[in-house]
């Protein structure tokens, strides 16, 4: 050993002999313990301040504990089984999923199993699977904090910040833990941004809605003002006509005015222009058959349209007038307003002529139809204006009752595009639309209780609410009849629509029927206002018996539910002539086609 260290040890031993209490120093505890292990007794370090004698402190004395009387009836001997498997830090998540799935299959009513598997899916970065398990856990136990927690974590992984924040807040209220608080710190800032974004655009939408209401109100006020100005203008014109009887008398309203020269025509047209009226110049000839056919009808028009000036010129007597207007065919009808030609009809077409007269007499009323557009209705007076215009034009009007899109009414949103698509298909129908929320007066007036509702109106009266009954005619197609009830339904629909119905009885074994059927099939396109029906005498025996059919092919002409004529032959000309006659395409007295 080192001599110096031995000398140091000797000096330390001498010091201990002189002052044994030094061994009580905490830094020498190891040496004290060594001495006590050898059987040595180390004296205490405490000395009396009076006289320097050592004494024991009561605080250093050991406390002797007493026995505690305990109830040990349920105490068992400790188990000495080998320690169970605890796993390691390398997670086998796929195996965990398999075992949890097996456990769920054995006990599908345990919310904790679903929530635990959802938690494993979170670790596997499979948020959708975790959401499905969380939903299952909450279905079993609606108060499962873990279910809300893992679903919130999964939604946060998908960027569904608002929904994630909602789930995590519920989980925190049920059973708060630090992990939820940490996740909420990350989720809530984004959730708050989304909520603020939604509030901002909701506010903008409400402001836009208010601006639209204000704009519509201003538009209605402007329309009302324009209508008042128009009424005042008409009153002023009436006063002017009353104060200028000479110019007004030139018109000879209520009579046909004969024209013999260009100067006479110009005088009449100037008078008509001053009165802002429509003039119709009819060119005719004594040798013209169609002119003789249409003349009585033209003569009756002044009484029906007293505000229209009806003029008439014979092309042989007033050659200069005919040359001035480039007349190349008679009968010809020129519609003149403010001295200019605005329309023209060539031929003896009564329907077309009268329709154009009705339109030209009151163009503002006719324009109320808004052809090619759906007309929005806001109040009862506006609806009455549109219906009056439709009545004057002998049109069908359809009132579509709906709710605005913002009320999320699914059937209305589904039906609106289809309703819009009907415009080009039916150009002669006036399509109207009313919002039952904004125009409650209209809804009450027409008893529109359900949505969507479609009210069919003709001449100001409701004719149908059910489009199926109106479509029972199957316009443009041959309708096959199989029973008496089916036939009655079709005939009732034809009666309501004031249509001619033709019932064609045929048979598969009939040669003439096979020859005639292609011709009959083409007739609906030629006569769209006629309901064409067909019945096989073998398949619809009750129908054939009801109509006493003894020969095929047979054609029954039916109007208002009653037989008005019958054709039993394959004479195409005879059949088509009768169709034209009974359907209004042929004038019976002149035996000439009206179209």
pLDDT per position as a tens digit, 271-311: 888 887 889 999 999 888 888 889 889 988 888 888 889 99
Confidence of residue 60 (pLDDT cuts 50, 70, 90): low
State yes or no: pLDDT of 593 exceeds 50.
Answer: no
Which residues fall within 8 angstroms of residue 103, CB to CB, at 6 or more apart?
A: 110, 113
Confidence of residue 403 (pLDDT cuts 50, 70, 90): confident
Q: What is the mean pLDDT of residues 422-443?
A: 82
Residue 231: helix, strand or coil by DSSP?
Answer: helix
DSSP state of 473: G
Q: What is the mean pLDDT of residues 493-499?
A: 80
Is the pLDDT higher at 406 or at 455?
455
CATH number at residue 454: 3.40.30.10
Same domain, 288 and 304: yes
Same domain, 313 and 422: no
Angle at CA of residue 407, ends 406 and 413, nearest 5°: 80
For the ranges 178-182, 249-253, 521-525, the lowest mean pLDDT is seen at 249-253
State yes or no: pLDDT of 591 exceeds 50.
Answer: no
d(CA 118, CA 128): 9
Q: What is the mean pLDDT of residues 2-24?
A: 82
State yes or no: pLDDT of 102 exceeds 60.
Answer: yes
Is 420 within a domain? yes
Same domain, 257 and 351: yes
Cα 53 to chain centroid distance, Å, stands at: 107
Same domain, 478 and 558: yes
Reported as a single tens digit per residue, the pLDDT across 186-220 is 888 888 888 888 888 888 888 888 888 988 888 88
Is 53 within a domain? no
Is the pLDDT higher at 502 or at 6?
502
DSSP state of 472: G
* Per-residue pLDDT at 241: 55
Is 61 within a domain? no
Same domain, 589 and 475: yes
* Per-residue pLDDT at 357: 81
> Closest Cα to residue 505, out of 567, 573, 446?
567
Which residues fall within 8 angstroms of residue 358, CB to CB, at 6 or more apart?
A: 305, 366, 392, 393
Rg, C-alpha atoms of the chain:
52
Q: Which domain holds residue 293?
A: 248-361
Asked whether the beta carbons of 310 and 255 are under 8 A apart, the reply is yes
* Per-residue pLDDT at 476: 66
Is 456 within a domain? yes
322, 515, 569, 570 from 511: Cα distances, Å? 56, 6, 12, 11
Assessment of whether the complete model's pTM goes beyond 0.75: no
Same domain, 409 and 373: yes
Asked whether the beta carbons of 230 and 254 are under 8 A apart, the reply is no
Q: What is the mean pLDDT of residues 57-85?
A: 71
Residue entry with tokens 């088509």: 576
| 3-state class percentages of the chain: helix first, strand second, coil last, to nearest 5 | 55, 15, 30
Q: What is the mean pLDDT of residues 326-342?
A: 88
For the ranges 140-144, 241-245, 262-266, 562-566, the lowest mean pLDDT is seen at 241-245
DSSP state of 253: T
In this structure, what token pair is assigned to residue 14? 């001498």
For the ranges 56-65, 99-108, 503-512, the lowest mean pLDDT is seen at 56-65
Is 214 within a domain? no
Listed residues 138, 173, 189: the one ending a domain: 189
> Closest Cα to residue 186, out of 206, 168, 209?
168
In this structure, what token pair is assigned to residue 327? 């007349």
State yes or no: pLDDT of 408 exceeds 70.
Answer: no
d(CA 157, CA 128): 10
Average pLDDT, the chain: 80
- The residues assigned a catalytic role are 288, 291
Buried b vs exposed e over 438-469: b needs ≥16 C-beta within 10 Å? bbeebbeebebeebbbbbbbbeeeeebbeeeb
When divided into structural domains, the chain yields a total of: 5
* Per-residue pLDDT at 518: 87
State yes or no: pLDDT of 250 exceeds 60.
Answer: no
Asked whether the beta carbons of 566 and 551 are under 8 A apart, the reply is no
Is the pLDDT higher at 443 or at 162?
162
Listed residues 436, 465, 494: the one ending a domain: 465
């Amino acid at each position: 050993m080192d001599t110096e260290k031995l000398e140091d040890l000797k000096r330390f031993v001498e010091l201990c002999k002189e002052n044994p209490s030094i061994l009580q120093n905490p830094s020498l505890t190891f040496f004290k313990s060594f001495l006590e292990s050898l059987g040595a007794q180390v004296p205490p370090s405490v000395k009396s301040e009076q006289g320097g004698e050592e004494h024991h402190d009561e605080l250093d004395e050991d406390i002797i504990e007493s026995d505690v009387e305990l109830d040990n009836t349920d105490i068992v001997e400790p188990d000495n089984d080998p320690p169970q498997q605890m796993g390691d830090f390398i997670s086998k998540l796929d195996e965990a999923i398999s075992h949890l799935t097996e456990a769920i299959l054995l006990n599908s009513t345990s919310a904790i199993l679903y929530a635990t598997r959802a938690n494993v899916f979170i670790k596997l970065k499979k948020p959708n699977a975790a959401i499905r398990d969380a939903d299952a856990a909450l279905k079993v136990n609606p108060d499962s904090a873990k279910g809300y927690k893992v679903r919130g974590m999964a939604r946060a992984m998908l960027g569904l910040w608002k929904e994630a924040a909602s789930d995590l807040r519920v989980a925190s209220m049920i059973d708060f833990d630090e992990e939820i608080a940490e996740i909420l710190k990350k989720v809530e800032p984004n959730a708050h941004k989304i909520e603020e974004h939604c509030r901002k655009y909701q506010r903008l939408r409400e402001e836009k809605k208010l601006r639209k209401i204000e704009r519509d109100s201003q538009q209605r006020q402007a329309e009302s003002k324009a209508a008042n100005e128009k009424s005042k203008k008409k009153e002023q014109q009436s006063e002017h006509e009353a104060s200028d009887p000479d110019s007004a008398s030139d018109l000879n309203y209520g009579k046909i005015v004969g024209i013999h020269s260009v100067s006479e025509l110009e005088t009449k047209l100037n008078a008509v222009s001053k009165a802002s009226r429509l003039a119709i110049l009819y060119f005719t000839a004594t040798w013209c058959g169609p002119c003789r056919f249409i003349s009585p009808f033209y003569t009756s028009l002044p009484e029906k349209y007293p505000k229209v000036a009806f003029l008439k010129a014979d092309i042989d007597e007033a050659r200069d007038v005919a040359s001035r207007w480039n007349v190349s065919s008679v009968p010809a009808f020129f519609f003149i307003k403010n001295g200019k030609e605005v329309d023209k009809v060539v031929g003896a077409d009564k329907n077309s002529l009268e329709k154009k007269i009705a339109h030209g007499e009151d163009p503002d009323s006719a324009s109320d139809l808004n052809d090619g557009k759906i007309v929005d209705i806001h109040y009862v007076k506006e609806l009455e204006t549109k219906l009056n215009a439709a009545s004057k034009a002998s049109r069908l009007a359809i009132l579509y009752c709906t709710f605005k899109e913002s009320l999320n009414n699914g059937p209305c949103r589904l039906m609106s595009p289809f309703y819009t698509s009907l415009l080009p298909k039916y150009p002669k129908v006036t399509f109207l639309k009313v919002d039952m929320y904004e125009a409650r007066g209209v809804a009450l007036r027409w008893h529109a209780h359900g949505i969507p509702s479609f009210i069919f109106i003709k001449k100001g009266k409701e004719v149908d609410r059910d489009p199926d009954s109106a479509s029972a005619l199957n316009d443009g197609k041959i309708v096959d009849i199989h029973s008496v009830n089916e036939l009655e339904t079709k005939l009732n629909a034809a009666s309501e629509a004031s249509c001619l119905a033709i019932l064609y009885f045929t048979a598969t074994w009939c040669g003439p029927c096979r020859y005639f059927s292609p011709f009959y099939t083409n007739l609906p396109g030629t006569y769209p206002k006629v309901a064409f029906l067909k019945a096989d005498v073998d398949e619809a025996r009750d129908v054939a018996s009801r109509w006493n059919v003894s020969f095929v092919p047979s054609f029954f002409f039916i109007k208002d539910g009653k037989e008005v004529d019958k054709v039993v032959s394959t004479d195409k000309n005879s059949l088509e002539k009768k169709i034209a006659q009974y359907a209004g395409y042929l004038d019976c007295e002149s035996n000439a086609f009206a179209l």
